[in-house]
Amino acid sequence: AVSDGPELTRWPAAVAAAYRTAGYWRGQSFGAALREWARRSGDRPAALDGDRTLSYAALDAAADRFAAGLVALGVRAGQRVVVQLPNTADFLPVVFGLWRAGAVPVFALPAHRHSELGYFCRHSDAVALIIPDRIGGFDHRSMVDAIRAQAPTLRHVIVAGEPGPHTALSDIDVEPVELADPDPSGLAFLNLSGGSTGLPKLIPRTADDYLYSVRVSVEICRLGPETRYLCALPVAHNFTLSSPGVLGVLMAGGTVIMCPNPAPDTAFPLIERRRATMTALVPPLALLWLNADRSGVDLSSLRLLQVGGARLPDEAARRVRGELGCALQQVFGMAEGLVNYTRLDDPDEVVNTTQGRPMSPADEVRIVDDADREVPDGQVGHLLTRGPYTVRGYFRAAAHNATAFTAEGFYRTGDLVRRTPDGNLVVTGRAKDQINRGGEKIAVDEIEAHLLAHDAVHDAVLVGVPDQHLGERSCAVVVLRPKAQRPSPAALRRFVRERGLAGYKTPDRIEIVDEFPVTGVGKISRAALRAALRRTFTEER
Ligand code: J2J
């Protein structure tokens, strides 16, 4: 395949050396880390999943056997494997097995469909895809043909559950073999970015940088062997995986409780039964939990609720302690790196009204105006950041990297923030072409391109409009071709869905208009158009 830029943009050598000297990067691979955790926590439960208990020792052994099985299949070090698994205990031996085999997982979410999965496979030259048989009513095996058609390098489809014509996950289980430990400073896995231009970007992370971020997160969130973490958001999301998430829990010797669905009727009984001490949610779920009937359910084990992924309204934040009986922590993070936390001993006012501050003393944060000049404290500006766990470039995306990062290696987050006098960040808005639908990110031009693929569509603009529950939801404004047969909004929504996209990307609403606003001098810029349409369809409500 043609490579569009490097797979991993390394930190400058002097910077990397400084991170090592400071003890941030410790030169340990993920596989070696699990070995250490298993040596320490052996028979203790690493993960609970339904009635199944996976001990640290069993996880360690299963990862070895899965790694050996991958090697027997022909998967080689450095090769990419797209992983789409729900919140089950299987996720852990699969991912650590991949790491031990030196393979590079690409973390997809359960909501992704054939268009996105095909793209991840193609863009990463994946040799294997790991999917569940079904989640809820959807059969993930039904996407395989459409994915294969896009991804010529794909050789193996591995299914957790009933394999059909594919390889069963349970068959990739052979006697452990001696394997070379991968370079901890090399490409270890690919995270997904919410994206703002075109297709989602893949984010190259290393064991050195990621394990550092997990270690600091464990300290800040005070995890220990007594921690019982309810994994309610998708396990492969950066928040759930690393802030401190599932990896943090394993590092601390605690227990992950796999939760198949974050809705109160599933999550609450599980908290009660397994005595969960902490969990992480996006704001709409936190609101759902706050508004749910909690009579007859005992949530008293819960000590800490983390909320992140989108802005939590201050009013909701203030309700958490009184109504759920646990502390709140706001988490403002990104799959590219930087994670901000409110601290457990912060005053309530800070916890309820800010998104916290960077977790590492080595995180560099600049808040700048449109010309990249630093703004005075308290003023809103663009957030730029670099540091020991923030990437310096996307995977094979040279052209995009030229604008997504400054010449000095700062990542342009696209977030608008201000810094409070005590050093915390408040997220006030966004400058990127993205909709944050309750924590789920939608790149507007990705969806516009799908709408434009309809032969009756002349032009389409996707905008975010305020929504009480989700924070914002998506509204597509569409101009149809004059002579074409006019599809209904419902037909257009169906068209987008059938192109094989995650359900949350289907426009919540489609407005068909005769023409877009124009100025006296002709067509206005796309950004101005989006702003104008956002105003129109926001005021109308
Ligand atoms: C406002 N906006 C927020 C917050 C993220 C921990 C927590 C979240 C993510 C995540 C993550 C926000 N208030 N509290 O990876 O490790 C928006 C910002 C940010 C983008 C990143 C983690 N928390 N956001 O959400 O890669 O716009 O990571 O740039 O999915 O979500 O999205 P994502």
The 10s digit of each residue's pLDDT in 191-229 is: 999 877 777 899 999 999 999 999 999 999 999 999 999
pLDDT of residue 517: 82
pLDDT tier, 29 (very low <50, low <70, confident <90, very high otherwise) = very high
Both structure tokens of 473: 């939801």
The pLDDT of residue 532 is 86
Expressed in angstroms and rounded, the spacing between residue 309 Cα and the centre of ligand 1 is: 4
The yes-or-no verdict on residue 509 having pLDDT over 70 is: yes
C-alpha–C-alpha distance, residues 182 and 174, integer Å? 20
Chain centroid offset of residue 2 CA = 27
Q: Would you place residue 271 in the very low, low, confident or very high pLDDT band (cuts 50, 70, 90)?
A: very high
- Residue 335 CA from chain centroid, whole number: 6
The per-residue pLDDT for 525 is: 80
Ligand 1 center–CA 332 separation, angstroms = 5
Closest-CA residue, ligand 1 atom 21, reads 334
Q: How far is the CA of 415 from the centre of ligand 1 (A)?
A: 10
pLDDT digits (tens, 9 = 90+) for 391-425: 999 999 999 999 999 999 999 999 999 999 999 99
Among candidate residues 399, 359, 365, the one with its CA nearest the CA of residue 382: 365
Q: Would you say the CB of residue 333 lies under 6 angstroms from ligand 1? A: yes
CB atoms within 10 A of CB 456: 15
Q: What is the average per-residue pLDDT within 338-357?
A: 98
Confidence of residue 522 (pLDDT cuts 50, 70, 90): low
Give percent above pLDDT 90 in the chain. Answer: 92
Mean pLDDT, range 135-148, rounded to an integer: 97
Determine the pLDDT at residue 66: 98
Instruction: Give the pLDDT mean for 309-325.
Output: 98
Cα–Cα dist 186/175, whole Å:
27
pLDDT at 523: 67
Q: Is residue 66 within 6 Å of ligand 1 at its C-beta?
A: no
Tell me, using a 6 A CB cutoff, whether residue 352 lines ligand 1.
no
Q: How far is the CA of 308 from the centre of ligand 1 (A)?
A: 6
Q: Are 379 and 361 in contact (CB under 8 A)?
A: no
| Of 118, 83, 96, nearest in space to 32 by CA | 96
Using CB atoms within 10 Å of the CB of residue 366, give its burial: 0 to 12 exposed, 13 to 18 middle, 19+ buried: middle
Q: Are strands 255-258 and 45-49 parallel, antiparallel or unpaired?
A: parallel
Q: pLDDT value at position 521?
A: 60
330 in contact with ligand 1, CB cutoff 6 A = yes
The mean pLDDT value of the chain amounts to 96
**Nearest atom (ligand 1) to Cα of 308:** 14
Average pLDDT, stretch 258-272?
98
Rounded average pLDDT over 243-266: 98
Cα–Cα distances in Å, from 302 out to 274, 312, 472?
11, 19, 29
Best mutation site among 332, 351, 415 for ligand 1, i.e. most ligand atoms within 8 A of its Cβ? Answer: 332
CA 505 – ligand 1 centroid, Å: 17
- 8 A C-beta contact, residue 493 and residue 478: no
Task: Give the tokens for residue 354.
Answer: 């800010």
What's the 310 CA to ligand 1 centre distance in angstroms? 6
Helix ranges, 195-258 (H): 207-220, 238-242, 245-252
| Helix ranges (DSSP H) in 330-465 | 348-353, 398-404, 444-452
CB 107 less than 6 A from any atom of ligand 1: no
Residue 47 pLDDT > 80, yes or no?
A: yes
Cα(191)–Cα(95) distance, integer angstroms: 13
User: What local confidence, expressed as pLDDT, does residue 454 receive?
Assistant: 96
Cα 447 from Cα 290, distance rounded (Å): 32
Ramachandran area for residue 58 (φ above 0: left; ψ -120 to 50: alpha; else beta): alpha
The alpha carbon of 117 and the centre of ligand 1 are apart by a number of angstroms equal to 22
**Ordered structural domains, the chain, with CATH:** 29-37+54-183 (3.40.50.980), 434-539 (3.30.300.30)
pLDDT at position 197 is 74
ipTM over 0.90: yes
Q: Whose CA is nearest to atom 7 of ligand 1?
A: 333
What's the pLDDT tens digit per position in 428-437?
999 999 999 9
Express each pLDDT in 162-193 by its tens digit. 999 999 999 999 999 999 999 999 999 999 99
Q: If pLDDT is split at 50, 70 and 90, which confidence band does 1 have?
A: very low
In this structure, the chain runs to a length of: 541
Checking DSSP bridges between strand 471-480 and strand 457-467, what pairing results, if any? Answer: antiparallel
State in Å: Cα 333 to ligand 1 middle: 4
Which residue has the least CA distance to atom 16 on ligand 1? 239
pLDDT at 3: 59
Q: Which residue has the tokens 């970007």?
A: 201
By the 8 A CB rule, do 473 and 452 touch?
Answer: no
Q: Report the alpha-carbon distance of residue 247 to residue 239 in Å, rounded.
A: 10
